[in-house]
Amino acid sequence: LGWQHLGEGVQELGSPWSDETWSTARSDLFLRALDLHRAFVAGAAKKVRGNLQVLMELMAGTNGPLPDEEVERAWQTLFLLVPVVSTTFSSVGSMFARLGRESIGWLLVDEAGQATPQAAVGALWRARRAVLVGDPLQLEPVVTMPAALQRRLLRAYGVDERWLPSATS
């Protein structure tokens, strides 16, 4: 029978795009990709280690001035080895200070409804692609500035109240 003829319960538990042959092929491909990745890192071990050392010194503030290209290579090496780097919007500016526009492949933001646009802009600027997931009606933006001060600043600069930080996400 076709997928559309199965009961809702069977459909909910099934995967129409995945059978045993497909799952086995996907798993084999993934394992081969890991082998390729491992071989690449092993073949470039000295450079990988050197780049990671540069990054550790950069984060500790113990290395002298470095060219932007060297900083970017160090971060790219970490991104090659570690699939996900987690941080907060408030740390992006300092943590990734030397990374330029579109220097991060993917930005994944969970609970984006809690973020104000101005909090997210630095991370979005550094990302080539972004996935933002969140519901501002479920969790409102987190704003530490009192609403009265926000309104006062809006009036002082002639900005419409619809741009009130605590009301936008």
DSSP string, 25-75: HHHHHHHHHHHHHHHHHHHTHHHHHHHHHHHHHHHHT-S----HHHHHHHH
Q: How confident is the model at residue 129 (pLDDT cuts 50, 70, 90)?
A: very high
Is the pLDDT at 15 greater than 80? The verdict is no
Q: How confident is the model at residue 1 (pLDDT cuts 50, 70, 90)?
A: low
Q: Does 86 or 19 have the greater pLDDT score?
A: 86
Which token pair is 28? 């084999």
Q: Does 167 or 120 have the greater pLDDT score?
A: 120
Write the pLDDT tens digit of every residue in 141-165.
777 788 899 899 999 999 998 888 7
